[in-house]
């Protein structure tokens, strides 16, 4: 089939590479416009856009896919199908109608669970033991189109959202190509999603990532892993924001007040609504990632200090 791939961030790259290596003809790539990056705020192409340019594939970067000029360019490419991975913009019906077989999305959840922008983060936060990826035909309603295929993936207790997304991106690339193969030869038929089990995964904002130390240790652990690497879980110490990496729950240790610190030469512990946790790596505002013990020495944090209290 003639394909136009739509995607933007790094997790979409495995699918792009798998399509390039497949027997399908990739005639174009759609991605989000170049965005400011770095201290100089120079405009930089998306990871998918950069890779497509390296491969010599025509790249379309509409501000919004409803633009008539973009839709005319897409028609000129004559795609049979448009596979999508994390493109990042809502597609109007006028664009959905252009390819013969529609737009086929690779979504990183087992639909109908976790429809929306942040399915992997919400799966970690909710404590799901199994996650996965689903291919489906895009319709106007959010992630509600009929499905073609799925894969499942066990979620390890230490997985961050970044870890799990990486595994799903790699495994999902093969699922997407096999879905396209099945659409081409007629062996796959889309099935409507069940009405039961629908849940939603809206984008997680920076404020959502602020750790609530009154939660049980498991809740603190899940929030931090769900927000790693983006947007980054955080708390404050002496009024200064500090980003927190994954923690270790210290089961059976003496209880501490929520947010209370215990500082030793080699470790930093924090109280929660249940068991304390040991901090891993942390990143003070404007500085590099470091061990919690190094951070504590640098800011002279002491036992009895608190996270989440202003100076």
* pLDDT the model gives residue 36: 84
Neighbours of 75 (CB within 10 A): 12
The answer to whether residues 227 and 233 touch, using CB atoms and an 8 Å cutoff, is yes
Closest CA to 30 of 69, 1, 66, 70: 70
* pLDDT the model gives residue 79: 98
* pLDDT the model gives residue 309: 77
* Residues in the chain, overall count: 311
Element spanning 47, H or E: helix 47-55
* pLDDT the model gives residue 41: 77
* pLDDT the model gives residue 7: 98
From-to residues of CATH 3.40.50.170 in the chain = 2-185
* pLDDT the model gives residue 310: 64
* pLDDT the model gives residue 165: 98
Please report where in the chains the tokens 């979409």 appear, as a residue.
Answer: 12
- What pTM does this model have? 0.94
From-to residues of CATH 3.10.25.10 in the chain = 207-299
Going by the DSSP 8-state scheme, the letter that residue 109 receives in this structure is: S
Fold of 2-185: Rossmann fold (3.40.50)
3-state secondary structure of 302: coil
Going by the DSSP 8-state scheme, the letter that residue 72 receives in this structure is: H
Fold of 207-299: 3.10.25
* pLDDT the model gives residue 127: 97
Closest CA to 216 of 260, 158, 303, 276: 276
**Going by C-beta distance under 8 Å and a sequence separation of 6 or more, which residues neighbour residue 214?**
258, 259, 272, 273
CA–CA dist 225, 11 (Å, integer): 18
Neighbours of 20 (CB within 10 A): 15
CA–CA dist 279, 128 (Å, integer): 23
pLDDT in tens, the chain (311 residues): 999 999 999 999 999 999 999 999 999 999 999 888 777 778 899 999 999 999 999 999 999 999 999 999 999 999 999 999 999 999 999 999 999 999 999 999 999 999 999 999 999 999 999 999 999 999 999 999 999 999 999 999 999 999 999 999 999 999 999 999 999 999 999 999 999 999 999 999 999 999 999 999 999 999 999 999 999 999 999 989 999 999 999 999 999 999 999 999 999 999 999 999 999 999 998 899 999 999 999 999 999 999 987 64
Closest CA to 101 of 32, 148, 31, 58: 148
In the chain, alpha helices (H): 13-21, 47-55, 68-77, 93-96, 119-126, 161-185, 217-226, 292-299
Residue 22, Cα to own-chain centre: how many angstroms?
25
Residue 210 CA: distances (Å) to CA of 52, 216, 233, 261, 300: 37, 15, 6, 17, 23
* pLDDT the model gives residue 244: 98
* pLDDT the model gives residue 294: 96
CA–CA dist 214, 273 (Å, integer): 4
* pLDDT the model gives residue 5: 98
């Amino acid at each position: 089939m003639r394909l136009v791939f739509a995607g933007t961030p790094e997790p979409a790259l495995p699918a792009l590479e798998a399509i390039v290596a497949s027997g399908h003809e990739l005639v174009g790539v759609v991605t989000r416009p170049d965005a400011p990056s770095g201290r100089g705020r120079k405009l930089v192409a998306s990871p998918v856009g950069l890779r497509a340019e390296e491969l010599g594939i025509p790249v379309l970067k509409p501000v919004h896919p409803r633009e008539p000029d973009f839709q005319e360019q897409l028609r000129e490419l004559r795609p049979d199908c448009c596979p999508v991975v994390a493109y990042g913009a809502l597609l109007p019906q006028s664009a959905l109608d252009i390819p013969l077989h529609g737009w086929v999305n690779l979504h990183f959840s087992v639909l109908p669970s976790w429809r929306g922008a942040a399915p992997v983060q919400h799966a970690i936060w909710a404590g799901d033991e199994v996650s996965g990826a689903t291919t489906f035909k895009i319709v106007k309603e959010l992630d509600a189109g009929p499905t073609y295929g799925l894969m499942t993936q066990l979620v390890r207790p230490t997985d961050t959202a970044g870890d799990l997304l990486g595994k799903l991106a790699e495994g999902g690339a093969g699922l997407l190509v096999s879905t396209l193969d099945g659409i081409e030869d007629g062996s796959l038929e889309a099935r409507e999603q069940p009405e039961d089990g629908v849940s939603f995964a809206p984008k997680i904002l920076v404020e959502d990532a602020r750790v609530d130390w009154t939660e049980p240790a498991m809740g603190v652990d899940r929030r931090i892993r769900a927000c790693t690497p983006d947007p980054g879980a955080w708390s404050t110490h002496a009024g200064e924001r500090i980003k927190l990496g994954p923690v270790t729950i210290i089961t059976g240790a003496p209880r501490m007040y929520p947010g209370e610190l215990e500082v030793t030469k080699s470790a930093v512990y924090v109280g929660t609504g249940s068991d304390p946790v040991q901090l891993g790596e942390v990143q003070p505002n404007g500085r590099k990632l470091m061990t919690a013990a190094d951070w504590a020495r640098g800011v002279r944090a002491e036992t009895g200090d608190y996270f989440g209290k202003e100076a």
